[in-house]
A and B are shown apart, each in its own frame.
Chain A
Amino acid sequence: MEINVVEKVMKVNDELAQGVRERLAKAGVVGLNFISAPGSGKTTLIETALRNLGGAPRIAVIEGDPDTTLDAERIAACGAPVTQVNTAGGCHLEANLVNRALDGFDLEQIDLMIIENVGNLVCPVSFDLGEEKRVAVVSTTEGHDKPAKYPKLFRTAHVVVLNKIDLLPYVDFNRDIFRDSLEKLQPGVEVIEVSCTSGEGVEAWCDWLRRAGKG
């Protein structure tokens, strides 16, 4: 006996994500989902922003990693509220983990909730976490072909941060090819070039967060 179902497999996650979205909106918090490969500098971008923004907007962070509390310790050292979520080897965050992590924050005291996803350019893209905006981070050492290889992320990102631009003279990274493929995947997508080491572009990055924090 065949029973017709016709149900989206992501339904449970999508519904939970909608719950997170409503929870954040009710408290006036803007959720950001940071997605990148491991080692592209997501945590450093957050640290740099925390040190430069001086508390406005008020930022809290959910750190997703397969293991350890290393990233949460780095964020806590900058004075921001943070919760570490370990996925026990899992390759992405899901909405239920974020929903649970939100219990640990006083949402009324927060403007921006940064969710740093597990470093991975594939799996996190399929799981809505209830964020308002998706931030894709690529570093120059990863190569200019990342957008073409991982199109789904770059079609859905609200902003693309090109990180580690101080290394451009030393790596084989073609900015024109990078920008051109982004433009083909998502015409008009905003790109911010940053080096947390030299400080170049940090003000533009902080400014983007300020604008995001105003909802």
Chain B
Amino acid sequence: MHEFSLVESILTSVFDVARQHGNPPVTRVKLEVGALQQVVPEALEFAFNAAVKGTSAEGAVLDWTEIPARIQCPACHATYEPADVFWVCPNCEAQGGKAIAGDDIVLASVELEDGESGQGVQ
């Protein structure tokens, strides 16, 4: 359910970027979603499409790349991609640890309509 909150934050940043470039329509938004984030891409897309209605980002495409989780073992400090909800170090079998990747949602880039190339050709 908190996808709507996430979309609100995403759009605040997206419109900031658009404003800095003269407010052209937004055509694409790229996200990097960590595997440890409990986000359902379809729900995020649904919330995004609903939120951009009537704005300069209406019709923009939401792209996301999943970033795999990376855990650092608390005992031997090896890093590994967990195979299960319970993290077990494949090197020394210690449990738990710290996520060093895959625990963030990052706005990677915003694509804006290019005024020059979009006009007058052909």
With A10-B9, A152-B36, A186-B96: A5-B2 Cβ-Cβ less than 8 Å: no
B106-A187 in contact (CB<8A) = no
Assembly CA distance A187 to B31 (angstroms): 33
Residues of B within 8 A of A3 (CB): 17, 21, 109-112
Chain B: interface residue count, which band?
20 to 34
Nearest chain-A residue to B113 (Cβ)?
A: A1
Are A151 and B85 touching (Cβ within 8 A)?
yes
With an 8 A cutoff between CB atoms, is B23 at the interface? no
CB-contact partner of B107 in A9, A122, A183, under 8 A: A9
Q: Which of B2, B96, B106 has the most CB atoms of chain A within a 10 A radius of its CB?
A: B2
| Interface positions of B from 103 to 119, Cβ below 8 Å from A | 104-114
Contacting residue for B2 out of A7, A126, A148, CB 8 A: A126
Asked if A193 lies at the interface with its beta carbon under 8 angstroms from chain B, I say no
A12 touching B9, Cβ below 8 Å: yes
Q: Tell me if B65 counts as interface (CB < 8 A to partner A).
A: no
Interface size class of A (residues with CB under 8 A): 20 to 34
Report Cα–Cα, A94/B6, bound state, in Å. Answer: 11
User: B5 at interface (Cβ–Cβ under 8 A)?
Assistant: yes
In contact, A7 and B109 (Cβ under 8 angstroms): no
From DSSP, what is the main secondary structure of chain A's interface residues?
Answer: mixed
Contact with A along B70-109 (1 / 0, CB 8 A): 0000100000000001111000000110000000111111
Interface residues of A in 1-55 (CB under 8 A from B): 1-13
Report A-chain residues with C-beta under 8 Å of the C-beta of B96.
155, 184-187
Interface presence of B10 (CB below 8 A): yes
Would B2 and A8 count as touching, CB distance under 8 A?
Answer: no
Which residue on A lies nearest to B112, using beta carbons? A1
Q: From the candidates A8, A181, A184, name the one contacting B105 in the complex (CB within 8 A).
A: A8
User: Which B residues, 28 to 49, have Cβ-Cβ distances below 8 Å to chain A?
Assistant: 28, 31, 36-38
Given contacts A9-B6, A148-B85, A151-B85, contact A91 B1 (CB under 8 A): yes
In the assembled complex, the CB of A196 is this many whole angstroms from the nearest CB of chain B, namely 29
10 A-B residue pairs with CB within 8 Å? A5-B17, A5-B108, A7-B106, A8-B107, A9-B9, A11-B9, A126-B38, A184-B86, A185-B87, A185-B96
Residues of B whose CB lies within 8 Å of any CB of A are: 1-2, 5-6, 9-10, 12-13, 17, 21, 28, 31, 36-38, 74, 85-88, 95-96, 104-114
